[in-house]
Amino acid sequence: MIYRIALSKRKGQMKIQQMAFMLVAVFFFFILVGLFFLGIQFKDVKGGFAQLQKEQAISSLRVIADMSELNYDSSDSMTIDEDKLRIMSGDFGEDYSSFWPVASVEVYKIYPSFSEIKECPGADCNYYKLYDNGQSNVKTYSTYISICKSEKEGGYVYDDRCEVGKLVVGVKIPEE
């Protein structure tokens, strides 16, 4: 009789241990399922971040070109004043670092064509470096703009002496 009671206690303890191991196994199963689900949900967070940065850079091209600090005539879009470019390229662009939503801002004159890049301010220059925060891993996006200025020639003031330019902005790409 005592032998039967001891045997039934052992069977009861065995069933309790089996139940505990099953609960732990089910718990770990649901943890793995949850991690798998989160992995699927956040699979392309880096890709989404890069896409958002690209869209921000592209929209920043228009915003920067139409800034009153650079715009030639407020009624014309994508037209930059060359005199304002000369001023901003002389280290004044660094004062605007909190306003630039990008890593770098540069402007090139592309027509009339040139054989070498000459940084402004300077004579016959064709490259304006407005802002650069010194980041590495920068991807650039660009658009064509008009670079216009007023000139006095022969006693007359000529407005809208324009050249073709290229506005280049750089955004930091995430490191892998």
Whole-structure pTM value: 0.68
Q: What is the residue extent of each domain of the chain?
A: 1-36, 45-172
Check pLDDT > 70 for residue 40: yes
C-alpha to C-alpha distance for 137 and 122, rounded to whole angstroms: 29
Check pLDDT > 80 for residue 62: yes
Q: In the predicted model, what is the mean pLDDT of residues 109-130? A: 81
Band of pLDDT at residue 161, cut at 50, 70 and 90: confident
User: Contact, 125 vs 152, CB < 8 A?
Assistant: no
Neighbours of 151 (CB within 10 A): 11
pLDDT at position 92: 67
- Which residue did the predictor score with more confidence, 118 or 10? 118
For residue 128, the Cα-to-chain-centroid distance in whole angstroms is 21
